[in-house]
Every structure is written in C-alpha cells, then in structure tokens.
Amino acid sequence: MVTLTHYIVLSTILFGLGAIGFAVRRNAIILFMSIELMLNAVNLSLVAFSRYRAELNGQVMVLFIYAVAAAEVAVGLALLISLFRHVREVDVTRINILKG
Amino acid sequence: MSDYGYTFSMDQLWQIAGGQIILLIAGLLLIGLDLAWMGLDSERRTSRLGWVTVTALFAALGHVVYREWQLHEVVFMGVFSMEKFTAFLTATVLMAGIIASVLSLNYLHNNGRARGEYYILLIFALYGTVAMLQSVDLLMMFICLEIMSIGVYVLAAYLKDDCRSQEGAFKYFLLGSFGSAFFLFGLALLYGLTGTVNLTDMAVELSRGLFTRPEVLVSLALLMAGLFFKMAMVPFHMWTPDVYEGSPAVVTGFMATVVKAGAFGVFVKVLTVAFGPILYESGQPAFASTFHLAALAAYWKPVIWWISLLTMFIGNLVAVSQTNVKRMLAYSSIAHAGYMALGILAGNDEGRMGVLFYLFTYSLMNLGAFGVLFLIDGKERGAQTLEDYQGLGYRFPGLSFLMSLFLVAMAGLPPTGGFIAKFYVFSAAIKEGYLLLAALGILTSAIGAYYYLRVIYMLYMKDPVREVEPGPAAFPALAVLIAAAIAIIYLGVLPEDLAVLADTAQRSLALVF
C-alpha cells in the first residue's frame, strides 16, 4: 500500500538530491537540471497532497508551476548561451570575472 | 473583514485592480508601439517608449494614491488584498520605477544602447512586483515573484556584449531560481498541512493547533529562505555583489529598490498575516483566531535576530574593503536590508512603520546614488573605482554634491531621511527589548559611515589621478535626481507627514485581516 507518506518522503528525497546537485556539480547545464528536479519534486508532493485531500487545487497549482518553470528555463538557457558566447565555458567555477 | 466576492462589475474591477490593469495594458502597448515605430531609429523609438512608460507609471501611481489607498478589502476570492499597507508599498515601488525609467532614458543614451525591449521588461517586472505586493495567496505570490524575477534576469543581462553583465545575470538566474524552489517547497508543504495557500485561511488553520508541529516550522523556514534570497539577506546574499556590479547601473538601482521593497513587503505580510499575530500597542492580538500564533512568532524571531545581525555585519564589513564604488553600494544595500529586518523583528507598530519609512527613503537615496554613479561613469565601467572619484569635487561640483548627499543619507547622518529611518527601526527594536542587537546594529552603522564618507573624502580632499569624463546629463534625469535629493532633506527635517502615512498604512494590516 503506497500512502501519502511514501510520496512525501520520495518528493523530499528528490528535492534534496536537486539541492545537493546544485551545490556540488559544476556544469551549468546540470545545475539547470537540478533546479528542474527540485521543482518537479514539489509538483509530486502537490499532486500527492491534492489526492490525499480529495480536491483539485493542488493539481491546478502544478499546472501553474509548469508554466512558470518553462518560462524560467527558456530565459535561463538564453542567458547561458549569451554567457557562453563570451566565455566558451560551462564550468561555473571557472566563470569568475566578478569577484571581491 | 474579508469580502470574498465572486462577481463584480467593470466599475468595481477598475476600482480594485486599476493599477495592475494600467501596468499590464501599458506593457502590451509598448510591445505594439515598439513594432509600430520601427521606422524611427532605435534611439528615438526607445526614448518615446521610455516616456510612454513614465506616463503609464504616473497613471498607475495616481490610481494607487487616489483609489487604492481608500480601499479596504480582500478581493478576487481572497487572492489579492487592497489595504493601505499594500498601497503604501505599491506607491513606493511605482515611484522607484518612475525614477528608474527617467534615469534609464539618460543611461541608454549615454551608453548608446537604446533598445525598445528595455522598457517592456522594466514595466513587466514592475507589474510582477505590484501584483506580488497585493497578493495574500502563496501561489499568486510565487507566480508574481517569478514574473518580476524573469524580467529582472533579462534586464541584468541587458549589456549583451559585456561579459560581466552576462555573468552576473546568469548567477542571478541560477541562485534566484534555486531560492524560488525553496519558496515553492514551503508552499507545497503548507498546502499539505493546512489545505490552503491563502494566508488568511492559513492563519485560522494554523491557530487550530497546528502551529507547534515541526513540519510547520520546516515549511516556514523554507518559505523564509526563498524570500531571503530575494531580499539579499546574509547568508543568502552570495549573488548580490556580482549581480549588482555586472548589471547596468540603473538596473542595479532598480533591483536594489523595487525588488527589495517587493520582497520585504511580501515577507512582512507572510509573517504577520499567517505566522504571527498583529499586535496592537497594548500587546493584544488583533483577532482571537491569531492568538496562538504568538507562540509561533517565538520560533521565527531568533532566526531573524541572527540573520539581521549577520546581514548588518557582513554587509558593512565587506563594503569597507571594496575599491569599486558600485560593488561597495551593493554591499551597502545588503547592510540596509539588515537594518530593515530589525524593524520586522521588533514586530510592533513602530517597527512596521519604520520598515515602510525606511523602504521609501532607501528607494530615493539608493536610486539617487546609482543615478549619479552612472553619470560620473560616462559609459558603463568607465569610472567606478575610488581612484576615479579622486578630486572630482571641484571639477564637477553639482554631481559630486548630489553623490555626497545621497551617501550621507545612506550613512544615516542628520539632517537626512536616512537618519530618521534608522532612528525609527532602532528605537522600535529597543522598545521591544532587543538592546544588544540594536547596539551592535549602531556599531555596524558606524562602520558604514566610514566607507560612505571615504567616497566623499576622495571627492573633495584628494587630487585627481585620472581624467574622468562624465556622460551628458539631460534635464529630466537631473530634475529627478534633484527632486530625490530635496525629498531626502525634507524627510530628514519634517518626517512627520510620511511617518503618519506609514503608520496609517501599517495599522491597516490589523484591520483588514
């Protein structure tokens, strides 16, 4: 029997993996994927809560979050390409002109 | 109390959402006009678009001041709240938007980078901020936060052939969306725990006994972490100096004022409406239903205590070692967030009033400083170091005087509004018994005075070492800077008017929810 707890634990693990990935990986594309993983972990928990409470609000929220995440990624990839044109580099630890 | 209206007439719609409607229509109109005026050269087209933006912002400001200031209700099924607290912050944000747009006209001209999309992005970012301030629903807050952020990410990357601008914008994007993910996870957990994302309903649910559950505290911590990213509080401030240094100077001013004011407004709303009681002077909660939330406030107050202290210390200490004035102002804006958090921590009438007063004066002085900075700069990154500033005082007395005035205000010296603003938040904190924190805060403020006054010292007491050529300053930009300077002095000499308005505004929080 898969209960609400299972879903929430899974979603927390996914969210944690995303956060850890964001902290330890250095490739900008992987950082993107980590953020997406975090957002989708949230979506999973919203759907689980929505099912548990037997109402649709949570699932509607997921649609909103999808739209926002899509817009965010579109802008983010554009920014990455624009940056890549200058530095020819996707390793975020080596993109460090600004410091101090 | 709450008016959960499901139907409303066009007239009512205009009454309650006029400001938002004006901004939204203006944004769409700008896209059309940018195409319609394709025949003009990009410089003239952009300056026309700029004036359309300024007009629209004035119209929206007028609506907020004359209509929304009178309103007192929760509308659209509890998603937006219209009360004086929101109206005050909306007006502050729109005022900052007007200053930024007028300065942008000059900035884009000086840098030869006039392009229509600048104003489109600016007005949509402002729309997101205004809608975010008005929402009392976590989901709506998140969506509006993203509308604001996405606009600002692109604005930060506006200098397309400048590597620093690109790098700053990309860092901002990565850490910004990382922060939003935390906010979102907090939202999802709270939805699971309380069954609602509406702050008023959530307060009722929480006060039914949920408030001491560890899950609630975890989700509150996640929500707060997400907002701290946007407010640039230590230890969530890593992106701030890089982004502020990399972005176009006017956009930096915009981020430091509009985005910060938006995030602070939301933060105060979340903490006072859902997670803490709104106390009257007598110490009694406004509503019986929120009584238990006093216990919840005991959990988040120590967190803000430490974050406020760290923000003030790190912001001010690191600013001392900066040689680039723009980067120094970035650290100083971190420090200012720490002072404002002091007012939130106090959580009494004077504290909330102080935060509103602080945000208003801070918007004026910060945008003013960045305005003068880009004029002295000539072209972006032309003359931003302390060395460049040496001896400018006698060669360019007007600009130097304005810069000195804005810096004195930020240092919090009388007779400027900056002093009064600091006085309000510190005295609010002392009143609530946070003596140690207030004392340490004043100590950091003294450190702050050192690096602000150092710039003035460079301007007037040193001989020039480098030939600096400020960019041309057109009349509108100068008029706006001088108006900001006069307003800062006025607020320092006669602060009562704004203080009364801010106090009325913060009292409305207790009345509407």
Between chains, do B174 and A35 touch, taking CB under 8 Å as contact? yes
- The first and second tokens of residue B361, run together, are 């004066």
pLDDT digits (tens, 9 = 90+) for B154-184: 999 999 989 999 999 999 999 999 999 999 9
B189, B226 in Cβ contact below 8 A?
A: no
Q: Could you tell me which chain B residue has the CA closest to the CA of A87?
A: B163
For residue A52, the chain B residues in CB contact (below 8 A) are 192
Between chains, do A76 and B173 touch, taking CB under 8 Å as contact? yes
Specify burial of residue B63 (Cβ count, 10 A radius: 0-12, 13-18, 19+): buried
How would residue B296 be classed by pLDDT, with cut points 50, 70 and 90? confident
Q: Which of A52, A64, A79 sits opposite B173 (nearest CB)?
A: A79
For residue A83, the chain B residues in CB contact (below 8 A) are 163, 166-167, 169-170
Rounded alpha-carbon distances, angstroms, from residue B103 to B106, B109, B257, B361: 5, 10, 14, 18
Q: Could you tell me which chain A residue has the CA closest to the CA of B161?
A: A86
pLDDT over 70, % of chain A: 99
Rounded mean pLDDT of B286-306?
A: 72
How would residue B285 be classed by pLDDT, with cut points 50, 70 and 90? low
Q: Which residues pair with B137 in a beta bridge?
A: B198
For residue A15, the chain B residues in CB contact (below 8 A) are 181, 185
User: Does pLDDT of B144 surpass 90?
Assistant: yes
How would residue B149 be classed by pLDDT, with cut points 50, 70 and 90? very high
Q: Could you tell me which chain A residue has the CA closest to the CA of B247?
A: A98
DSSP state of A93: G
Task: Say which range, B23-32, B276-285, B365-374, B392-401, has the weakest mean pLDDT.
Answer: B276-285
Helix (H, G, I), strand (E, B) or coil at A1: coil
HEC profile for B13-56?
HHHHHHHHHHHHHHHHHHHHHHHHCCCCCHHHHHHHHHHHHHHH
Residue with tokens 């969210």: A15
Residue with tokens 């309380």: B194
DSSP state of B415: T
Residue B281 pLDDT: 43
Cβ-Cβ contacts under 8 Å between A and B: the total is 114
pLDDT digits (tens, 9 = 90+) for A53-92: 999 999 999 999 999 999 999 999 999 999 999 988 888 8
Residue A100 pLDDT: 61
Residue A8 pLDDT: 94
- The first and second tokens of residue B480, run together, are 């706006």
How would residue B282 be classed by pLDDT, with cut points 50, 70 and 90? very low
Residue B273 pLDDT: 82
Task: Say which range, A60-64, B252-256, B274-278, has the weakest mean pLDDT.
Answer: B274-278
H or E, element range at B73: strand B73-75
Q: Which of A52, A72, A82 sits opposite B177 (nearest CB)?
A: A72
Q: Which residues pair with B74 in a beta bridge?
A: B81
Residues 6+ apart with CB under 8 A from A85: none
User: Does pLDDT of B5 surpass 90?
Assistant: no
Specify burial of residue B92 (Cβ count, 10 A radius: 0-12, 13-18, 19+): buried
Q: Which residues of A touch B (CB under 8 A)?
A: 8, 11, 15, 18-19, 22, 28, 31, 35, 38-39, 41-42, 45-46, 48-49, 52-53, 55, 57-58, 61, 64-65, 68, 71-72, 75-76, 79-80, 82-83, 86-87, 92, 95-100
Q: Could you tell me which chain A residue has the CA closest to the CA of B160?
A: A82
Helix (H, G, I), strand (E, B) or coil at B62: helix
Residues 6+ apart with CB under 8 A from B297: B271, B275, B276, B277, B347
Between chains, do B143 and A80 touch, taking CB under 8 Å as contact? no
Residue B513 pLDDT: 63
Mean pLDDT of all residues belonging to chain A? 92
Rounded mean pLDDT of B314-320?
A: 94
Q: Which residues pair with B324 in a beta bridge?
A: B385
pLDDT digits (tens, 9 = 90+) for B207-218: 776 667 888 889
pLDDT digits (tens, 9 = 90+) for B216-226: 889 999 999 99
B257, B230 in Cβ contact below 8 A?
A: no
CB atoms within 10 A of CB B482: 13
Residue B316 pLDDT: 95
How would residue B153 be classed by pLDDT, with cut points 50, 70 and 90? very high
Higher pLDDT, residue B271 or B23: B23
Residue B125 pLDDT: 97
Picking from B333, B374, B123, B154, the residue whose alpha carbon sits closest to that of residue B249 is B374
How far is it, in rounded angstroms, from Cα B409 to Cα B362?
Answer: 9
Out of 3.50.50.60, 1.10.10.10, 3.20.20.70, 1.10.287.3510, which CATH number does the structure's domain A4-98 have?
A: 1.10.287.3510
Helix (H, G, I), strand (E, B) or coil at B75: strand
For residue A79, the chain B residues in CB contact (below 8 A) are 153-154, 157, 166, 169-170, 173
Q: Does B142 touch chain A (CB under 8 A)?
A: yes
Residue B78 pLDDT: 81
Higher pLDDT, residue B147 or B511: B147
User: Does pLDDT of B374 surpass 90?
Assistant: yes
pLDDT digits (tens, 9 = 90+) for B467-495: 888 888 899 999 999 999 999 999 999 99
Residue B16 pLDDT: 83
DSSP state of B367: H
Rounded mean pLDDT of B412-418?
A: 91
